Structure formats: C-alpha cells, structure tokens
Structure 1
Amino acid sequence: MKAFRHIPFQSHPNSNGFSVCLFLLCALFTGCQSTSTVLSDKAEQPAITQKEAGEQVIEALNRAYGVDTIGLFLDSPRCPDFVEGMFYEDSLPVFQIRGDTAKARRILEASAGSGAFRREADTEHTFTQKELRSILDTISNRFHKLPDGALKSNMDFWGMDNHTALVFFKLNTPAARQAFREHIIDSPAVSFEGPESPMPHSETGVPDTLGISLRPEYPVYSTQTSKASFVLINQSNSNIMCGEEYCITYEDEQGIWRKLPTDHFFFSVGYLVQPGEYRIRTASLYPEVHPNKPGRYRFLYHLTLLDTRTRIQMMTEFRLSNDEKEWKQTKKLKIPIHLTITQNSDNSATSETSADEETSGQ
C-alpha cells in the first residue's frame, strides 16, 4: 500500500536579507525607485518529484471516481469504461486504455488536474489488468472444481503482473503445464513459474541443543505417505517460538541433497513452546507431485529462544521405504510422560504405517 504525502511550504533561507541588499544595489547603480519595486518574501513551491506527481494523480482520480486510496478506483462503477487497468512504471501510473488514447488522456487529465501519467494502448498482443483478472477468476473457479490429484496439489498459487497471469507450481514440469492447459485454461496470457526439477539444498541443522530436540514421530514412513509428523521437545529453561515454515530435503542417487517439492508459502504465525512442553508439526510430502523414492530425508525447522533472541535451525532425519513390512513395523516415538503437548500442535499424520502402536524408547 502506497502512503501519499504532501510537500510542506518552505521559505527561502535568505529571502529577507539577500533581497533587500539586491534592491539597494539596484537603486544605487540603475537609479530605480523604491516605489517601483515590490519585494516579497514568498518562497517558490519546490518542484515535486515524479513519484509524488504520480501519487497526486491517483489521489485526484480516487476523489473523482472512487474512494479507495490504493488505486482500486478502477473497480468503481464511476470509473471510465475505457480504463482497462493500471500499473506503475518509473514511479508514474500507466493506464491501460481501450479505444481512443488521445481522448482518454484529455478526460483523465481533466479529472486528475495533471498529466503526470502515461497511457498504454490495448492491443491484441497485450493483456490488460481487466482481462487478466477475468483469467484469474477462471483459474480459481476451475481449480476448486478439480478432484484431488497431481495438478491440484502441484498448484501453489496464482496472480498477475502488468501483462501476464502467473501460475506457480511446486514442480514446473512439461506434464504439469500440459495438465493445466487441458483442465484449467489454455491461454497465451498465462506464464508458469517454479523449479523444473528439485534444486540442490545442502543446508543442515542440529537435532539437539540446549535441552531442545527434534524427532520424527516415526523413523520410517511409506514412500506413498502424504504426510509425516515431527516432534519439537522443549526440556530447556527457555521459552521458544516456532512457526509454520519448514523445509524437507532428500538425498538423491548421486548423494546430492535436494529440496523436496513441497509447500513454499506459509502463514506468518508464531507458536509458543514453554519448558516442559512439546509441539507436533505435520508436513506434506506430495507423492503425487514428486515420486518420492526410498532413502534418507531431512526435516528442517527454525525456532527462536525468546530470552536471548537466538535463532536456531533444527534438523532431524527420517527414511521413506517401499518395504511394507519395514514401515508397518516401525514404532512411534516415545514422549516422556512429564511433558505436555501444546494446544497449538498439528494433528499427527495418520499412521498408515502403524500396525503396531506400541512405542519404543528414545
């Protein structure tokens, strides 16, 4: 959101003394009369910047066409029909115009009291914000009608820039793009974003520090499991704060650690875990998006010690297995009985693995 500001009146620092001296010199050498010269200590209004001029245009158009202070007067029924959108370029508003751009400029200048804006003509080769909003509405409506599956899980979010509708995938593969075009919309206005393959990610953390530990709820999960749960245990003397964000990495066949295509965007929420408490964080593995192979995986999770404001990255390892006997016999983490679970814990991942709910020692 843009904050609009006005330039205060500023007087010239030497407006009185300097002007009087100049007048006396003029009278001495040119014989001019004092009655014929008008002195003024009014300062000239300083020139405003291009950014401020553009902001003043938006303020004026808000007053003329709507009540919104961030440019959404475009959605007002009083906004001229020829305005198809707006964006900023070099601090100036650019209005996307359908039809006669010269006439449009005259109308907008009259309403804004300024010409500090630019025009962009609507052509068959460009897409306006109005057209893009319609495309985004179509994407949203068709997304919600999709059955659960690879395409729906792979779509992280969508939005738009000046001329393009942007769709962000967890894994931006040719198959994902083709599925989108077949089931959502096939439009040249849509651009796809996201990694085309899992990116190397060698970052690590610690499983234990200062009485704080991070463990998988089960050491082994099926390669087909959609979720896995992890337990953050606080046996320190400090309150700790953790959030929603996590990262999962896996070791590929060449021994390179890569980031698993999973959630990229998280709500900015803080969860308090006091001494003597533990919190469960459940993560999504999306096997329908990426074929998760048997092997080593890491769960990375940040926390902050509130008394010292120290930020620590925790890490714990777990495995995925396609051996049904192995993951069915794996045993759940045993939580010390004196610890209590936080009220803000996630639900544990449903243990399709657990034929035996008996817990084992840590």
Structure 2
Amino acid sequence: MNNKILSPLYITFTSTLLLLLACISGSKQNPPPSVALQETNQDTLTREQTQQLSSVYAQRLTKAFAEDSGYITTPPGYFGGMYYNDKGKLVVQIIGDTLEGRCKIAEIVQSNDFEIDPVSHTYSQQELFRIMDEFNRRFVEADSQIKKNFSTAAVNTSQHRIDIHLIITNKNTEKEFRTKVMNSPAFHFVKTDYGLAPQDGVSEINGLYLRTEYPLYHTSTPQVKVTFYNRSNQKILVGNHYLVAYEENGRWKIVPNNYAATDVEYIVNLNNEHSFQAALLPDIHPNKPGRYRIYYTVSSDYNPSKHKYNLVADFRLSADRKECSRIPKSDIPAPNLNIRTMETENAGNELDENEDIIYAIAEQMPEFPGGEKAMFNYLQEKAKQAHAEEKGRVVVNFLIGKDGIVRQPEIARSVNNTLDQEAFQIIRNMPKWQPARQQGKPVVIKYTVPILFEPTK
C-alpha cells in the first residue's frame, strides 16, 4: 500500500488505519456470526469479494486492539500493522515469531484467510508512521530553501520504507535533506525522470485560447501568470495540473517542478477566463534563456472524456532586463459575440431553417479523412513541400461546412506574407471532412490549426 502524504501533513498510525478500513469497506458492516476459524478459498472470489471479506477481518482486529476511544494506540508487541495487497487480501505484519503471531491473529479474525508479512530487520507499518509523525514535526521548522525543493513524502508499507520525492534529487540535495531536516534509514529518495514533454499542442483551437501574461520574462522570474480563455459555445472544464517545458535541440523537455496537484475541476463559461500561476523555480534550478512552453489540458463539459484539448502557451526567457521591460502584455482574445450557445438552442428558441449557426464545439466534432493524426501529417507534409526559407508558425481559422468542405480560411496568427499565403493554399486544398453534427444533424463549425514551416535542409 502506498499512502501519499503531501507536506505538511500530520497523521497518526491509528487514524490512518481507520481511514483505510473506511475506504475499503465502503460502509459499516456488522461482521458475520463468530464461528471457529472459518475457511474461505479467496482464490475463487472476485477482487471486490476478497476486499469485503478482508475488511471484516480488519474490523475485528481494530476492535480487538482498540481502547474505549475506538483508536488503536497501544497494539500488542507482535502486531506491526496491516494493509491490503493488490488482490485485496489482508496482509498482517508480524514482529518476531510469525507462527505464534499468525495463531493469535487467526483467533481474533476467526479465519486463516490472510497473509503474513514478517517484520525482522525492516520497518513495520507502525514504526513507519511513528517516523512519519516525527518527520512532519521537524519539517515545519525546516529551512525554506529545502521546502522549495520538496515535493511529497509517502509511507510505502509494502516496501517497509518512506519514499521522499524532491524536485531535484542528487547526492547533494539528499545529504542536505538528511542533515538539515531528518536522517532516517527508513528514507528512500526517489529520483524523478522528467523526460520529454508532449510534442503536440496548440495555443488556440475552436475558440479556446491559452496565453501567458507577457510573451517575454527575465530568467530570474519565479512564476508566470497563465490564462485560459473560453470563446467557444460550451462550458469548459479545467483543473490545476500543468507542465512547464523548454526547447533544446528542437525537442521540448520538462522543467523540474513540483507537479503534485490536487484534482479539482473548475467550470469556465462562455467568454470567461481562468488564470493560474505556473512556477519556474529559478532558485532551485537556474533557467537558461530560450523558448519555454506551458502545457494545459482542458475538456468539454458536454463530453469530457472525448473532447479533450491539449493547449500550450509559448513564451521566452531572457537575461536582458531592458529587453524584458519593453515588452507589452500578450493580446487578449476578443469576446465571442456571434456564436450561438448550446444552452440558448436547448432553451427552445426557434431558428430559421436557412440560418447557419457557426459552432465552436459540437456534440460530434468534424473528422479529417483518417482522423486527427492524419490531419497533422497532411499539414506537416504540405508545409515541407512549401520549401520555406525561414521558420515560422502560422495559425489559420476556417469553417467546415455541413457538406464537409473547407471554407473562409483566415489568418489568426501571421508570420509574413509569404508563409501566410502558403498556409492559405494548404487549407484551401484540404480534402472533404466528415461534417460536425449537433443533435444528429450536420452543422457548420469553426476550426483552428497551426502550420509549422521550417527551412528545407
């Protein structure tokens, strides 16, 4: 069992056991009538049935070891703790003589259908939580710089250790942590491999935009303000998770950061925004001048699992303070005044049959022949054929009609006249799409794509 603990948390062994039991059992159940050592072949049970049965055994242990308060404060010396394995079966940690310990546990739970985890020179669950309590107490008084480099601490019962996750993990940071916070043999420092960021993503699509407050910041900037703009015709779900990446040799690499975040969803209505601060942590790892990017995923409130959009906001870091001071703020997308919302349509407003509503998001989005991957391959291949003399990314808006034909391309983000005209031709020559559908009927939709041009090598 891995119990994730975000600093600073103050938990006790007893409260964690009760929480574990509550999560597994789902509700308070009266244990079945006592019989002499019931035998049940858990191998024939489903995982859910095994969990239910194991939770009954755990409740019996808790009741046997708890004081009047209902909390386990002074368990017997042979009891080290308990958890559930990946099959949902109860595992009891026994300190010392496992045979004697098993007999005592079997007598209490009235069954032999549990496993024993012998604790000899390793840490029991009880000991790990005592160490964790002491760690939490000391961490409050820790140096602020160490706290900045700290991500999470987790009691890893099955491995008999406490996993420590730092943003930057190496011999120096581990030594500093053990010296200035706490040094325990139970600590295991986990090195995070941040790796590559997703190589896809757009800054604007179908009325959805992601922007940093400024397009340029100084390398010492601790955090940047990022804003998501909803200019579509639907409510959009957003959360707290984001990634920061930097460009190196044409590839985007994730910047080390504390990416642990609470899963909270926010609804952003039409023509509303949602802002958050993306940490750059220059005092933990110096950021070099160059191109950087924020990754942020949003989804349609109508169908979150199907309609997900990977948005990016590009910006640069510079070591020149004068250059940074002269940069104006990023453009704010204009409010959407022309697109009919689904709420308005569903309210029963009658529309002229000849009136074409332009949607930004529909129940069934349009599909390029072969799917989205085929579309980006088409754009990439056509951009190569243009034999561009310089690098640039042109963003194009266009309409996909009820018949699936592309119409009215317009430049949303320009590079220069040459690349803009090439982008126009690529969009105009697109094959026929499967049209978008709303309530089963084909509709007109506004679509946005980026086209990246690179010089021919």
Determine the C-alpha separation between the residues in 1 that align with 2:88 and 2:234: 47
1:191 is aligned to: 188
Per-residue CA distance 1:47-93 (angstroms, 9 max, x = gap): 6424657854552452354299xxxx995147433211123456543
Q: Is residue 87 of structure 1 aligned with residue 83 of structure 2?
A: yes
Q: Is residue 145 of structure 1 aligned with residue 138 of structure 2?
A: no
Please state whether the residue corresponding to 1:66 is helix, strand or coil: helix
Per-residue CA distance 1:103-132 (angstroms, 9 max, x = gap): 3222212111112233344323x1111111
Displacement of 1:155? 1.4
Q: Is residue 259 of structure 1 aligned with residue 259 of structure 2?
A: no
Determine the C-alpha separation between the residues in 1 that align with 2:70 and 2:186: 21
Select the residue among 215, 220, 227 that pairs with 1:219: 215
C-alpha RMSD of the superposition: 3.1
Q: Is residue 328 of structure 1 aligned with residue 325 of structure 2?
A: yes
Displacement of 1:202? 4.1
Please state whether the residue corresponding to 1:191 is helix, strand or coil: strand
Per-residue CA distance 1:8-30 (angstroms, 9 max, x = gap): xxxxxxxxxxxxxxxxxxxxxxx
Select the residue among 117, 126, 132 that pairs with 1:130: 126
Map 1:1-362 → 2, pairs under 5 A: 1-3=23-25, 48-50=41-43, 56=53, 58-63=55-60, 65-66=62-63, 76-77=72-73, 79-89=75-85, 91-124=88-121, 126-149=122-145, 151-161=146-156, 162=158, 163-195=160-192, 198-252=194-248, 254-307=249-302, 309=304, 310-335=307-332
Q: Contact between 2:39 and 2:111, CA under 8 Å: does it hold in 1?
A: no
Q: Contact between 2:212 and 2:330, CA under 8 Å: does it hold in 1?
A: yes
State the TM-score, normalizing by the size of structure 1: 0.72
Equivalent pairs, count: 294
Determine the C-alpha separation between the residues in 2 that align with 1:47 and 1:63: 17
Displacement of 1:288? 2.1
State the TM-score, normalizing by the size of structure 2: 0.58
Per-residue CA distance 1:291-327 (angstroms, 9 max, x = gap): 2111100111111123454111111200111111122
Determine the C-alpha separation between the residues in 1 that align with 2:140 and 2:111: 44
Give the letter aligned to residue 332 of structure 1.
K
Query: Percent identity, aligned pairs only?
Result: 27
2:383 is aligned to: none
1:353 is aligned to: none
Determine the C-alpha separation between the residues in 1 that align with 2:198 and 2:178: 34
- Aligned CA distance change for structure 1 residues 83 and 273 (closer, same or farther; 3 Å): same
Determine the C-alpha separation between the residues in 2 that align with 1:74 and 1:127: 25
Give the letter aligned to residue 271 of structure 1.
Y
Determine the C-alpha separation between the residues in 1 that align with 2:127 and 2:70: 13
Per-residue CA distance 1:119-154 (angstroms, 9 max, x = gap): 344323x111111112222222222212321x2122
Moved more, 111-120 or 222-231: 111-120
- Aligned CA distance change for structure 1 residues 160 and 47 (closer, same or farther; 3 Å): closer
Determine the C-alpha separation between the residues in 2 that align with 1:47 and 1:99: 27
Give the letter aligned to residue 264 of structure 1.
Y
Please state whether the residue corresponding to 1:205 is helix, strand or coil: coil
2:435 is aligned to: none
Give the letter aligned to residue 183 of structure 2.
D
Moved more, 291-300 or 84-93: 84-93
Determine the C-alpha separation between the residues in 2 that align with 1:74 and 1:181: 36
Displacement of 1:166? 0.5
- Aligned CA distance change for structure 1 residues 122 and 323 (closer, same or farther; 3 Å): same
Note the residue ranges of structure 1 that are not aligned, 5 or more in a row: 7-44, 340-361
Q: Contact between 2:54 and 2:89, CA under 8 Å: does it hold in 1?
A: no
